[in-house]
């Protein structure tokens, strides 16, 4: 008697994986240990959990199908409800067909004899790849005999504003995708059979490509890329704003073999020249001229913000970037620099205190300088709109905002920036000792994680103090970096 291959159960997410890349599905089932850790996964999971729980809470007469003691029991419980006239919402209805098991976020009675299906997402709109998710759910539900009359992605409505504490009525909006899912449903049996055949076979030989990042960054990228021959040291992909795509399509991957005469974009030509020659592009006079009109005292300003999917503070919208911290280095014409900062880690709405600190700490005259400064300007104007009594001072401050990024982009390029003018890419090329590597908080994403951790109820005083120090060091470094960069651009270092 020969062993029959074990039939692997499939799920919505496994089918999504298969559709992105057969090899990804195969690796996830047979070589899961090769997956790289996804640093943002925990925060995304927490957001998804919060959003999902709230979607359920807004339907208080709903019934949750628990996954305990096992999914077979969940299927049985779901069937018992569906086939015995249950007439209230069901959460995590668990159904299966042809070895594909799905848990449907929300089933709501449609008022006739069918059900409205909703998949809850923390995005602010339905995305193309959601259609495939919904198609799998619909395919299983229909084949399991559940009459589905409509099916939607239930996403966050970005126009929602929290007006009363705990009142989230209106936070979600449904985008019906039933019609869009039909063509995919029609081919689902074949897709499932193909996924199963892939799993039963040897590791697919799929080569890495654009599909490795869409719709999701693949956790096996390290494994797959390690198997490729090493690429050139300076690939065409360092050309910014997708400038390398045209060359890749022609089979040219090494920037050194690109004909400079064919580069019609001035920035691409500059990046090419600096990379091939190894010489820094630096227009000192251009940089000085661009900054000459920035009046003193100059305030070098940087915000750190947090954007919760589910707004926590009255007057806030979903994902609104609320400033919880800023750093301001104030520089006189003589070169004296004083540092000011604001940081709120008590979990209360930081906006009022932030607005007051800005008005108090930022001089009433002189340029206010940011890096990609439309962000700083936008936050200041939002604070002005939220606090009318501070609006005059904040609006005047916003009118004095100027931007160091375009000055840098136009007047400096070192090949080690590898096509990026982010301050973290530029700074080490101007001042090698000023990198971010030694900081605990190294970028905006980790600042947000630090903030979320610090305001959590279970954060100890000791840990909060450590996070406080790490956040201050990071944000302060950003504004200090701008001063050093501006001096470097002006030839004053």
Per CB under 6 A, residues contacting ligand SF4 are 21, 23-24, 27, 206, 208, 211-212, 218, 220-221, 224
User: Minimal distance in Å, beta carbon 27 to ligand SF4?
Assistant: 6
User: Minimal distance in Å, beta carbon 205 to ligand SF4?
Assistant: 9
Q: Which has the closest alpha carbon to 246: 224, 218, 265, 232? A: 265
Identify the H or E element spanning 91: strand 90-97
Phi and psi (nearest 5°) for 405? -60, -50
Residue 23 or residue 340: which is nearer to ligand SF4 going by CB? Answer: 23
Residue 219 or residue 302: which is nearer to ligand SF4 going by CB? Answer: 219
- Please name the residue that has the structure tokens 């691409």: 268
User: Minimal distance in Å, beta carbon 228 to ligand SF4?
Assistant: 10
Distance (Å, rounded) from C-alpha 57 to C-alpha 201?
44
Identify the H or E element spanning 342: strand 337-343
Residue 88 or residue 245: which is nearer to ligand SF4 going by CB? Answer: 245
Q: Give the side-chain half-sphere CA count within 13 A for 442.
A: 8
User: Minimal distance in Å, beta carbon 28 to ligand SF4?
Assistant: 9
Residue 208 or residue 286: which is nearer to ligand SF4 going by CB? Answer: 208
Distance (Å, rounded) from C-alpha 7 to C-alpha 199?
9
User: Minimal distance in Å, beta carbon 151 to ligand SF4?
Assistant: 28
Distance (Å, rounded) from C-alpha 325 to C-alpha 354?
7
User: Minimal distance in Å, beta carbon 230 to ligand SF4?
Assistant: 17
C-alpha dihedral (399, 405, 409, 415), degrees to nearest 10: 170
CA distances from 105 to 72, 95, 154, 245, 264 (A): 17, 12, 10, 39, 51
Distance (Å, rounded) from C-alpha 372 to C-alpha 405?
5
Residue 221 or residue 431: which is nearer to ligand SF4 going by CB? Answer: 221
CA distances from 242 to 233, 372, 420 (A): 18, 20, 12
User: Minimal distance in Å, beta carbon 223 to ligand SF4?
Assistant: 7
Cβ atoms of 488 and 460 within 8 Å: the answer is no
Residue 15 or residue 101: which is nearer to ligand SF4 going by CB? Answer: 15
Residue 26 or residue 247: which is nearer to ligand SF4 going by CB? Answer: 26
User: Minimal distance in Å, beta carbon 218 to ligand SF4?
Assistant: 3
The CA radius of gyration of the chain, in Å to the nearest whole number, is 27
Residue 142 or residue 211: which is nearer to ligand SF4 going by CB? Answer: 211
């Amino acid at each position: 008697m020969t062993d029959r291959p074990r039939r692997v159960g499939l799920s919505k997410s496994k089918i999504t994986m298969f559709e992105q890349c057969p090899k990804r599905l195969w690796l996830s089932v047979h070589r899961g240990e090769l997956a790289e850790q996804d640093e943002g996964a925990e925060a995304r999971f927490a957001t998804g959990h919060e959003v999902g729980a709230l979607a359920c809470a807004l339907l208080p007469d709903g019934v949750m199908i628990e996954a305990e003691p096992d999914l077979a029991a969940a299927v049985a419980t779901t069937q018992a409800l569906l086939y015995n006239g249950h007439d209230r919402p069901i959460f995590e209805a668990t159904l299966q067909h042809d070895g594909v098991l799905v848990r449907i976020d929300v089933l709501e009675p449609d008022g006739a004899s069918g059900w409205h299906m909703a998949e809850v997402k923390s995005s602010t709109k339905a995305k193309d790849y959601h259609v495939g998710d919904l198609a799998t759910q619909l395919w299983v539900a229909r084949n399991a005999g559940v009459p589905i009359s409509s099916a939607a992605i239930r996403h966050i409505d970005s126009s929602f504003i929290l007006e009363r504490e705990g009142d989230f009525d209106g936070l979600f909006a449904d985008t019906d995708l039933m019609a869009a899912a039909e063509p995919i449903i029609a081919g689902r049996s074949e897709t499932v059979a193909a996924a199963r055949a892939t799993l039963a076979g040897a590791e697919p030989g799929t080569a890495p490509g654009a599909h490795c990042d869409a719709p999701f960054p693949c956790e096996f990228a390290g494994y797959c890329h390690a198997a490729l021959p090493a690429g050139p040291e300076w690939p065409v992909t360092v050309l910014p704003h997708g400038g390398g795509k045209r060359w890749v399509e022609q089979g040219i991957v090494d920037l050194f073999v690109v004909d400079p005469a064919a580069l019609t974009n001035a920035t691409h030509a500059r990046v090419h020249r600096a990379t091939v020659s190894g010489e820094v592009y630096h227009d000192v006079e251009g940089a000085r001229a661009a900054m000459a009109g920035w009046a003193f005292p100059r305030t070098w300003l940087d915000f750190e913000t947090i954007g919760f999917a589910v707004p926590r503070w009255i007057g806030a919208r979903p994902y609104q970037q609320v400033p919880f911290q800023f750093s301001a280095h104030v520089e006189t014409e003589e070169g004296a620099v004083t540092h000011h900062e604001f940081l709120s880690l008590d979990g209360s709405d930081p906006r009022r205190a932030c607005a007051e600190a800005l008005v108090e700490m930022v001089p009433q005259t002189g340029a206010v300088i940011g890096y990609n400064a439309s962000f700083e300007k936008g936050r200041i104007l939002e604070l002005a709109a939220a606090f009318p009594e501070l609006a005059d001072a904040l609006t005047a401050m916003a009118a004095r905002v100027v931007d160091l990024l375009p000055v840098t982009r136009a007047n400096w390029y070192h090949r080690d920036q590898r096509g990026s003018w982010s301050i973290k890419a530029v700074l080490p090329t101007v001042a090698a000792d000023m990198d971010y590597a030694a900081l605990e908080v190294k970028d905006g994403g980790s600042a947000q994680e630090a903030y979320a951790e610090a305001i959590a109820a279970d954060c100890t005083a000791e840990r909060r103090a450590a996070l406080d120090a790490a956040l201050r060091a990071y944000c302060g470094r950003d504004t200090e970096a701008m001063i050093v960069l501006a001096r470097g651009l002006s030839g004053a270092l």
